């Protein structure tokens, strides 16, 4: 508060700040960023769009010693397709997935078509609000590993691969091995998430995404994604993936519900059976929104039901 | 070797706000919102929740609306920043959005208004033909505890319809 004697115009002598102190560096190249991470290990934290990290720092739930701002690094954003995979650069902002465009081998930009071209915008619109989507990044969300985050659910459902760089090396981590628990991944402190590879889904795939949250833009209380591959000749489900977020420390796949669908023809009864199976597979803990998860999973849209193409 | 600034030392930071250059000195942990208010003296940008939920601190960064409480001043150095102080003309003529908020009663206490004005300016400048549904979705980014939002929506719709932003 202002000192009465100083009058209302005087600024306080001690300036309020939110986050704890940190050292700051903004490397120009990926190599420099990897050097810094190698040097500081778990004292360092990568800052990308900052839409999850900075709130945690403002609350002092996160108190990194060194912030490595990768906002000025080139080469980590944008999307491209090769070898049956869509590579999404870690620095790609959410807003770009609302109208995804890929860079072709000859350097042109063209809209991403196909099933992913429809799925990514349908999911992107659930990510935060517009000001969050123009700053926050795809890779930042995945590395932050909120179990209810849309991109984490998508990565787990589609069996994405995370591309991690370290000084002098690179490895691909399967989604199943990447998410360890709430806000915790298998990325080593000296590693930088550079990109995420999503399998390109053929035209015989059908997908759906459904989210329940208390208010538009909130993190999901629970969200579910389905992807099924249909034998087009017979209409039978040949492959099924169901991922759910908000029900455990990591986004989870529902193997029993997936098995319920396999080899069957989509129908309202089948969807109900799969949803029943799904509800039996999750045991969400209550949070400040109450114990809604279980009931919501049972009611989440079952695979194929009105799914986008 | 990559330069690393020490944690407890203020570093020189140059911000370009509303076309003016501000040379300030700030610790790395200083948010853009605090820098704008306390170092640049631009107190039109308000701070509500300081964790990215309420949107009162919304400013334009290279034309897009962003939460200035979720950015550090050091991150914003290469950007063009616009705040509510930059909306009205130099002679005091209100920006069409400011006129419309007034005309449509898009504010009551006024605390959220700078954030809503900058959010609306960013949305209409980058998406001038935005549809009603999308506009409502965009405006749901910020919180207002007085108006019930409908008058804010109507104000922004009127500027969109007149093509004035």
In a mutational test of the A interface, the residue from B66, B115, B133 whose CB has the highest number of chain A CBs within 10 Å is B66
**Taking CB atoms and an 8 Å cutoff, what residues of chain A touch B120?**
none
Indicate whether A295 pLDDT > 50: no
Percent of chain A topping pLDDT 90: 78
Report chain A's terminal Cα–Cα distance, integer Å. Answer: 58
Contact A163, A172 (CB under 8 A): yes
Q: Binning pLDDT at 50, 70 and 90, where does residue A136 land?
A: very high
pLDDT for A286:
65
Mark B67-102 as b/e (b = at least 16 C-beta within 10 Å).
Answer: bbbbbbbbbbeebebbbbbbbeeeeeeebbbbbbbe
The HSE-up count of residue A44 (CA atoms within 13 Å, CB side) is: 25
Q: Which residues contact A212 (CB under 8 A, 6 or more apart)?
A: A220, A221, A222, A223, A292, A296, A300
Q: Closest Cα of chain A to B150: distance in Å? A: 16
**Taking CB atoms and an 8 Å cutoff, what residues of chain B touch A51?**
52, 67, 70
| Helices B150-162 & B113-126 angle (0-180, nearest 10) | 30
Indicate whether A92 pLDDT > 50: yes
Residues in chain B, overall count? 165
User: How many CB pairs below 8 Å do chains A and B form together?
Assistant: 119
Main-chain dihedrals φ then ψ at residue B92, nearest 5 degrees: 95, -5
pLDDT for A2:
43
Q: Which residues contact B34 (CB under 8 A, 6 or more apart)?
A: A15, A16, A17, A18, B47, B73
Paired strand residues for B158: none
Query: How far, rounded to the nearest angstrom, does the alpha carbon of residue A289 sit from its chain's CA centroid?
Result: 21
pLDDT digits (tens, 9 = 90+) for A207-256: 999 999 888 778 888 899 999 999 989 999 999 999 999 989 999 999 99
pLDDT for A301:
46
pLDDT for B100:
98
Indicate whether A3 pLDDT > 70: no
Q: Binning pLDDT at 50, 70 and 90, where does residue A287 land?
A: low
pLDDT for A305:
40
pLDDT digits (tens, 9 = 90+) for B94-118: 999 999 999 999 999 999 999 999 9
Q: Which residues contact A289 (CB under 8 A, 6 or more apart)?
A: A214, A221
Q: Do B67 and A135 touch (CB under 8 A)?
A: yes
Region A174-191: mean pLDDT is: 97
Maximum pairwise Cα distance, chain A: 84
**Taking CB atoms and an 8 Å cutoff, what residues of chain B touch A24?**
4-5, 7, 11, 28, 72, 74
Q: Do B58 and A131 touch (CB under 8 A)?
A: yes
Strands B64-67 and A252-253 come out as: unpaired
The domain locations on chain B are 11-86, 96-162
Residues in chain A, overall count? 309
pLDDT for B7:
75
Within an 8 Å CB–CB cutoff, is residue B66 touching chain A? Answer: yes
DSSP E strand boundaries for A70-204? 79-82, 85-89, 101-103, 109-111, 161-166, 169-174, 179-181, 184-185, 192-199
Indicate whether A61 pLDDT > 70: yes
Q: Binning pLDDT at 50, 70 and 90, where does residue A65 land?
A: very high
What domains are there in chain A, each with its CATH number?
A: 20-69 (3.30.43.10), 79-199 (3.30.465.10), 205-299 (3.30.390.50)
Checking phi first, is residue B18 left (phi over 0); if not, alpha (psi -120 to 50) or beta? left
pLDDT digits (tens, 9 = 90+) for B21-70: 999 999 999 999 999 999 999 999 999 999 999 999 999 999 999 999 99
ipTM: 0.94
Q: Quickly name the fold that domain B11-86 has.
A: Ubiquitin-like (UB roll) (3.10.20)
Q: Do A16 and B34 touch (CB under 8 A)?
A: yes
- CATH 1.10.10.2520: does it fit domain B96-162? no
Spatial distance between the Cα atoms of A136 and A128, rounded to a whole number of angstroms: 9
Q: Do B51 and A58 touch (CB under 8 A)?
A: yes
Within an 8 Å CB–CB cutoff, is residue B5 touching chain A? Answer: yes
């Amino acid at each position: 508060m202002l000192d009465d004697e100083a009058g209302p115009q005087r600024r306080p002598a001690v300036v309020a700040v939110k986050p704890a102190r940190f050292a700051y560096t903004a490397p120009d190249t990926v190599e420099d960023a990897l050097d810094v991470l190698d040097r500081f290990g778990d004292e360092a934290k990568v800052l990308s769009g900052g839409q999850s990290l900075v709130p945690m720092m403002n609350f002092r739930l996160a108190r990194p010693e060194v912030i490595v701002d990768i906002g000025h690094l080139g080469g980590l954003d944008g999307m491209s397709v090769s070898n049956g995979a869509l590579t999404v650069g870690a620095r790609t902002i959410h807003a770009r997935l609302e109208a995804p465009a890929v860079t072709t081998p000859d350097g042109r930009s063209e809209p991403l078509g196909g099933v992913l071209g429809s799925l990514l915008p349908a999911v992107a619109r659930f990510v935060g609000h517009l000001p969050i989507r123009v700053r926050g990044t795809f890779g930042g969300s995945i590395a932050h590993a909120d179990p209810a985050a849309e991109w984490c659910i998508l990565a787990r459902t589609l069996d994405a691969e995370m591309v991690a760089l370290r000084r002098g090396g690179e490895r691909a981590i399967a989604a199943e091995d990447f998410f360890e628990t709430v806000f915790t991944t298998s990325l080593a402190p000296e590693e930088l998430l550079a990109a995420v590879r999503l399998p390109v889904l053929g035209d015989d795939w059908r997908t759906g995404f459904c989210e329940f949250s208390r208010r538009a833009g909130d993190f999901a209380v629970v969200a579910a994604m389905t992807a099924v591959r249909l034998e087009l000749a017979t209409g039978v489900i040949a492959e099924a993936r169901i991922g759910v977020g908000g029900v455990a420390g990591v986004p989870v796949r529902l193997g029993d519900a997936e098995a319920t669908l396999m080899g069957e023809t989509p129908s309202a009864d089948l969807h109900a059976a799969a949803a029943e199976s799904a509800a039996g597979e999750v045991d969400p803990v209550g949070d400040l929104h109450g114990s809604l998860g279980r009931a919501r999973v049972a009611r989440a849209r079952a695979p194929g039901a009105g799914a986008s193409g | 070797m990559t330069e690393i600034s020490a944690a407890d030392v203020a570093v020189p930071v140059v911000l370009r706000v509303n076309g003016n250059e501000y040379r300030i000195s700030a610790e790395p942990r200083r948010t853009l919102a605090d820098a704008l208010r306390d170092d640049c003296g631009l107190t039109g940008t308000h701070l509500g929740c300081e964790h990215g939920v309420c949107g009162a601190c919304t400013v334009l960064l290279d034309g897009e609306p962003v939460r200035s409480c979720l950015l550090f001043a050091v991150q914003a150095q290469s950007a063009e920043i616009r705040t509510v102080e930059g909306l009205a003309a130099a002679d005091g003529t209100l920006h069409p959005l400011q006129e419309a908020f007034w005309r449509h009663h898009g504010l009551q206490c006024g605390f959220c208004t700078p954030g809503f004005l900058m959010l609306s300016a960013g949305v209409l400048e980058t998406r001038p033909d935005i549809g009603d549904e999308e506009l409502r979705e965009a405006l749901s980014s910020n919180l207002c505890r007085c108006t019930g939002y409908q008058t804010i929506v109507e104000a922004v719709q009127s500027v969109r319809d007149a093509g004035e932003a």
